[in-house]
Amino acid sequence: MNIRELHVDGFGRLSNLDLALSPGLQVLIGPNERGKSTLRAFITDMFYGQRRDLRSPAYDEGNLLRRPWENPEAYGGRLVYALDRGGVYEITRSFVRDRQHVLLRDCQTGRDITGMFPAHPNHEIGFAEAHLGLSKGVFINTATIGHLNLDGLGDEQALDRIRERLLAINDSGAGIRSAGSALHALQELLDELQRDVIAPAGEALPPLREELAAARAAVREQARLNRRRAEALARLAECETERARLERASERASARRRVARLDEIERIQEQMDAVTQQMFPLLPFRDFSTTGLSEAQHLNMLAETIRLQTERREAELRRLTPELEGLEQSTPGDAPPPAPIPEETERRLHELRAREERYEERFTEADARVRQLNDQIAVTQRRLAEVPDFSRVAADPVEWISQLANAFTLALKTRDKECADRDRLREIVRRERQRIAPDAELFKHSDSFSERLREFEDAQRDTARRKTETEALQQSLAAALEEARERIPGMFWLAAVCGVFLLVLAGVFIASGKPPVLYAGAVILLALGYFLAQFTAARGLARRLRQEHDTAKAELERLKAAEADAVPPIEVLRKRANCQSLRELEARFDGFREALARLDTFVSELEQQEIRARESEERVPKLFARIQEAFQTAGEPLEDMNAVSAAVNRVMGRYQEYRDMKRRMSDLRNQLQTAIENQREYGDALENTRRALAQVEDQIRGIMRESGCADQADIEDPLAALRAYSEHCAVRQNARGRMEMLRRQVEETLDQLESDRRELAQCAADLRRLLDGAGVDSTGDWQARAEKAREYRSLQQTHAGLSEQINLLLDGTPLAELRRIAAELGTEEGGLPEEEAERELVQVRDEIKRLQLEVNHLQVAALECTAELRPTADVREEIADRERARDRAAALRDAALRAATLIEEAANQRHARIAPVIARDASRFLRDITLGAHGDVSIGDGFTITLGPKHAGLPAVTTESLSKGALDQVYLSLRLALVRLLSASGETLPMLMDDPFANYDDQRLKSAMRVLTEIGTDNQILVFTCREDVGLAAAEAGASVIEMR
């Protein structure tokens, strides 16, 4: 198929454009924004329409962007194309919204054949699909090779990207995804399904099923337990009935048993009577109390023990008494013991002595410290007087000096910087002026090219206008002259005729003398005058017109000469500028204008910089004067600006010294004050301590004197006196202590003897009281009587036991009642024996208890069966929910797997089929384009593209070693091969190339053009470009070049 002609009524910037195209390679050249890409879009839209969505006729608002700029109502055009298989068709389309229509006409028959093609759901007529065998997407991606498609290929994965791009076009047509990418997406879906749904469901379901099984088993178990419970309840009811029966039987048997015991009761009554007879003689001892017998025996033994103890104590007393008497004789009894010095007084004495010593030391130290500080203060005051008093300078001299110094340093820096900037700008301005001086001279009268050009064109137009006017004037003058010239002979001849007639009439009058002849002569004379006047006027007019005509002619000649001589000033300028072309001159002028503007900017900046530099220079001395004044106050005369920094350091040092001394002075004064206070405090404390010490000494010496120890009291040193007194007291105290101890032992022994005697008397009294109380004389007598009383009580217990037996046999039934029942029962025999009834009753009761326990146990067990479990409905619903999700996912997985399988099959078959063809053609194209610089293109398994070496034996070419241009050429070769392949089985496809040669050098551009020219013998190729060299290369290759204006 090839496009023969197209007419754009309006499409984007294109309007009323006609293009006649021929088969083969054609290059449409034009600068940027001349509508090349628009034209490419126009061709596509003419074939396929503008609707993006095949399923919907909705208008795509994006199409409004391509509405004609000038006349939106002319949105559309016409395109004529011919098919390889024969037939020429004309498409006429309008893209105007709400009035869109398409008309396909068979140019050979002239018939409208639009209706012969099916309409898509979006209402587009599918003739292009029918004729080209391609959808719009495939056509755009296959036939269109734009420079944008080549971007981003120059990195390490370039060949992979080329592969992906080719496969995307080849596999999906619309160029969105390759089969590999589609398979990858499906694999991701499969992975997600497995990971998010199927696997979790697979993991969750077995435990859930186990839970359900457990719940169902629990329900079954519960039902089983309920059944058992019901059975147990039934059995329980039966047992209750049996128990009632047995209880009744037991009662009857019991009655019979009790009647049977009547004889036994009577026998026991006889035994009771015998016991009563034995008890009778012992009756006097019935109430004899045995209480106190053991106590009396105990008291008897205790009295014996005390007697032995008394004898031992008396022996001890006899041993102690002689020693005590010896000590009493050695120690005078009337001498008072020395009064002890109170421990507190002694401790206080020691404390006061220690305190006195401590205070004496401290007082001495404080006194020395005061003297030392006074000396230091005096020294510091002398040194402080030697430095300036900075307190008069400023509140914070450091900050103030720093600010001044910083301000001055900043001012210097600013001045230097501003001056440097000013000098730099001056140099720049000077250089710029020098640089543009030739151009300034050249363009000094050409401040505006356009104005000059306009003036020149105005002058040219004025000249042309004047020339035209002069020509017109000349022509009109020539015509008027001709007319005037034509009139002169007529008037002459009329005047001549009139003169002849007048002469004839004069002759007649003269001959006839008739007056009427005069009348006629007068008329003719008037006519003669008129004609003569006209003749004269015509002659004058013709003369004047000739003169004017000559003047106009001369003017015209002058204008022509001037026009011929007129050289445009711009041309003069070009020659002066020694430029090859006006574009070069224009570029030079633009450069000059830019340089001039730049110079103006620099000059303006320089002026401002001059002001700033001047201000900064003026500021420095002012600031210096201030610093001088300030430093003078600080005792630092300053003369040189360069010495400011050093002076600042010195002043700062001096201030540092001043501040240190001030601080030191302050510290010393504080310390002195503290030392004086300490001195005073320690003096007072020492005085107080000494007074207290004197009081304590007086007190101690008084005690000594009172104790009769005047010798010790007179010892001068109170501590020595105290030690001597203590030794004296200790000796006397020891003797007294031993005597006191012996005295205490004797007294204690006497006390114990007395106590033992009292206790012995008490024991005897208590024993007597007990014997009297029992009415006996001795404990032996008491023992005998107690034996008889115990015998009586034993018989009494035997009697009570027999009585109990009778009561047991009666079992609560009065004897009379028993006798009545016996009378009632008479001789009744049979019935369940009581033991058996009781035994059965016990069994039944046990069974009832067991059944009750079982019922309770079963109820609890039934409750516990399901207590820990979720309701089965919940579990079943969760299982169903997860199974549904799993089944849905599994079905989707199966569908995705089926889709993946078919895609893989389709892609593999297709790739295997086309890979050799594309590789072969691409290799050839690449060799031709690169002039043999590259080897073969190989397409291996998985459509892997590799670039073979130029010579056999060398390693394959890597992407890194390829330039961007070479990659472009590989890509172009592959694309061309792909288009050729797609064209092989049907209609050849036109190729619309949008500047695909951006990275080509001249050689390869030419070779590429040759390749395209060769391909152009089969496929129509339209190359849209803005580059002149592409046009030249195409022309050189024999292709036609169409310039788009």
> In the bound complex, what is the minimum distance in angstroms from residue 65's beta carbon to another protein?
22
Q: How far apart are CA 703 and CA 344, in angstroms?
A: 14
Minimum CB distance to another protein smaller for 180 or for 1031: 180
The SS3 assignment for 353 reads helix
Minimum CB distance to another protein smaller for 265 or for 977: 977
Minimum CB distance to another protein smaller for 58 or for 646: 58
Minimum CB distance to another protein smaller for 178 or for 616: 178
Q: How far apart are CA 669 and CA 675, in angstroms?
A: 10
> CB 98: neighbour CB atoms within 10 A?
5
> In the bound complex, what is the minimum distance in angstroms from residue 167's beta carbon to another protein?
8
826: left (phi over 0), alpha (psi -120 to 50) or beta: left
DSSP class of residue 340 equals: P
* Buried residues in 731-759 as b, exposed as e (16+ CB within 10 A): eeeeeeeebeebeebbeebeebbeebeeb
> CB 269: neighbour CB atoms within 10 A?
14
Minimum CB distance to another protein smaller for 391 or for 909: 909
Minimum CB distance to another protein smaller for 490 or for 916: 916
User: DSSP readout, 482-515?
Assistant: HHHHHHHHHHHHHHHHHHHHHHHHHHHHHHH--H
The SS3 assignment for 1040 reads strand
Minimum CB distance to another protein smaller for 92 or for 135: 135
User: DSSP readout, 617-682?
Assistant: HHHHHHHHHHHHHHHHHTT-----GGGHHHHHHHHHHHHHHHHHHHHHHHHHHHHHHHHHHHHHHH
Rg (CA), the chain: 75
Instruction: Name the pairing type of β-strands 88-94 and 76-82.
Output: antiparallel
Distances, alpha carbon 345 to alpha carbons 350, 354, 732, 941, in Å:
9, 14, 21, 118
> In the bound complex, what is the minimum distance in angstroms from residue 246's beta carbon to another protein?
28
DSSP class of residue 993 equals: E
- Please measure the distance between the N-terminal and C-terminal CA atoms of the chain and give it in whole angstroms: 27
> In the bound complex, what is the minimum distance in angstroms from residue 451's beta carbon to another protein?
58
What distance lies between CA 923 and its chain's CA centroid? 51
> In the bound complex, what is the minimum distance in angstroms from residue 1005's beta carbon to another protein?
32
What contacts 1013, CB < 8 A, 6 or more positions away? 24, 25, 1034, 1037, 1038, 1039
> In the bound complex, what is the minimum distance in angstroms from residue 164's beta carbon to another protein?
13
Minimum CB distance to another protein smaller for 231 or for 586: 231
Minimum CB distance to another protein smaller for 193 or for 774: 193
Q: How far apart are CA 699 and CA 523, in angstroms?
A: 197
- Closest to 900 in 3D by CA, of 184, 195, 167: 184
User: DSSP readout, 49-117?
Assistant: -S-S-TT--PPPGGGGGGS-SS-GGG-EEEEEEE-TTS-EEEEEEE--TT--EEEEEETTT--B-GGGS
> In the bound complex, what is the minimum distance in angstroms from residue 62's beta carbon to another protein?
16
CB-CB contact of 25 with 1019 (8 Å): no
> In the bound complex, what is the minimum distance in angstroms from residue 200's beta carbon to another protein?
13
> In the bound complex, what is the minimum distance in angstroms from residue 203's beta carbon to another protein?
16
Give phi and psi for 1041, each to the nearest 5. Answer: -120, 125
User: DSSP readout, 229-289?
Assistant: HHHHHHHHHHHHHHHHHHHHHHHHHHHHHHHHTHHHHHHHHHHHHHHHHHHTTTGGGTT--
> In the bound complex, what is the minimum distance in angstroms from residue 207's beta carbon to another protein?
15
Minimum CB distance to another protein smaller for 173 or for 718: 173
For residue 96, give both structure tokens. 């105007």
Distances, alpha carbon 938 to alpha carbons 68, 132, 833, 917, in Å:
47, 29, 117, 10
> In the bound complex, what is the minimum distance in angstroms from residue 35's beta carbon to another protein?
30
CB-CB contact of 272 with 803 (8 Å): yes
> In the bound complex, what is the minimum distance in angstroms from residue 878's beta carbon to another protein?
5
> In the bound complex, what is the minimum distance in angstroms from residue 237's beta carbon to another protein?
14
> In the bound complex, what is the minimum distance in angstroms from residue 98's beta carbon to another protein?
20
> In the bound complex, what is the minimum distance in angstroms from residue 1011's beta carbon to another protein?
24
> In the bound complex, what is the minimum distance in angstroms from residue 67's beta carbon to another protein?
26
What distance lies between CA 866 and its chain's CA centroid? 48
> In the bound complex, what is the minimum distance in angstroms from residue 187's beta carbon to another protein?
9
Minimum CB distance to another protein smaller for 161 or for 910: 910
Distances, alpha carbon 458 to alpha carbons 464, 555, 571, in Å:
10, 19, 16
* Partners of 1042 in beta bridges: 28
- Burial tier of 700 (Cβ tally within 10 Å: 0-12, 13-18, 19+): buried
Minimum CB distance to another protein smaller for 172 or for 310: 172
What contacts 223, CB < 8 A, 6 or more positions away? none
Minimum CB distance to another protein smaller for 635 or for 986: 986
Minimum CB distance to another protein smaller for 465 or for 898: 898
Minimum CB distance to another protein smaller for 56 or for 391: 56
Minimum CB distance to another protein smaller for 192 or for 828: 192
Minimum CB distance to another protein smaller for 654 or for 910: 910
Minimum CB distance to another protein smaller for 196 or for 458: 196
Q: How far apart are CA 48 and CA 55, in angstroms?
A: 14
Stretch (H or E) spanning 348: helix 343-384
Task: List the beta strands (DSSP E) in 916-984.
Answer: 937-939, 945-947
User: DSSP readout, 697-721?
Assistant: HHHHHHHHHHTT-HHHHH-SSHHHH
> In the bound complex, what is the minimum distance in angstroms from residue 134's beta carbon to another protein?
7
